[in-house]
Structure 1
Amino acid sequence: MRSRYSAFSVGDVAYLLRSWHPTTRPPRIEPDEGLRWVRLEVLETTGGSPFHTEGTVRFRAHYLSRGTEGHLDEHSRFVRHEGTWSYLGAL
């Protein structure tokens, strides 16, 4: 989760697509150039240890959009795919 937030922050579209599960991955992502991610709060997690095959993360990501503060709340699901964690989607 934190690595995906960092990728959104720096616009690393290739990493975002690689870390998205192939069954839910969009064909492309076009970052909003007027959006700047400024802070991540992880609010709750389940699973996600080396012994788990799935987990969830509830988070709040804070941003500035053309000078206006905002935040995105999401409860995300991750699954282990081919040995790495992949973002499956929001719950």
Structure 2
Amino acid sequence: MTAEGPCPCGGRDARQRPRPFARCCGPLLADFDHEPAPDAEALMRSRYCAFVLEDGDYLLATWHPSRRPPSLAFEPGLKWLGLEVRDHRVVDATHAEVEFLARSRLAGRAQRLHERSRFVCDDGRWYYLDGDLK
């Protein structure tokens, strides 16, 4: 993956062209302290990119402290293949939900992760709270 290559999250611009990583999720991953996600969907997309890149620091930093695990481990050999955002629902000013489907492959076997994730906004910053698998 390159900075000018398409973002792994599948984000598109107004003309429906793939957004480059450098102008999509890249800035969020590069500078968490100064570049907060503008909404829950953007955070979810950036977290998908962090899984693709195995960026555990970003994943932990964007997990709400009340639910954050002490550490993360990545599945060796897991290859993420794509993300489809199915729904982004604003519950209120500080809560939102995002339903997504993420495809991956491990040892030649296709896998799907279908989740409705919950997000909370604290002090102007969105965090992943938890989710329900579908």
Q: Is the pair's TM-score, using the shorter chain for normalization, greater than 0.5?
A: yes
Aligned partner letter, 2:79: R
| Counterpart for residue 87 of structure 2 | 44
Q: Percent identity?
A: 43
3-state SS of paired residue (2:87)? strand
* 4+ residue runs over 2 A deviation: none
Deviations 1:7-62 (A, max 9, x none): 000000000000000000000000112211110000111018xx821100011000
| Counterpart for residue 50 of structure 2 | 7
Listed as ranges, the gaps of 5+ residues in structure 2 are 1-43
Listed as ranges, the gaps of 5+ residues in structure 1 are none
3-state SS of paired residue (2:52)? helix
Q: CA RMSD in A?
A: 1.4
Which protein shows a greater Rg?
2
**Residue in structure 2 matching 1:21, options 61, 64, 70:** 64
1:84 shift after superposition: 1.1
| Counterpart for residue 126 of structure 2 | 85
- Number of aligned positions between the proteins: 89
TM-score, reference length from structure 2:
0.63
Aligned partner letter, 1:3: S
Structure 1 or 2: more strand by fraction = 1
Greater relative contact order (Cα 8 A, min sep 6): structure 1 or 2? 1
TM-score, reference length from structure 1:
0.91
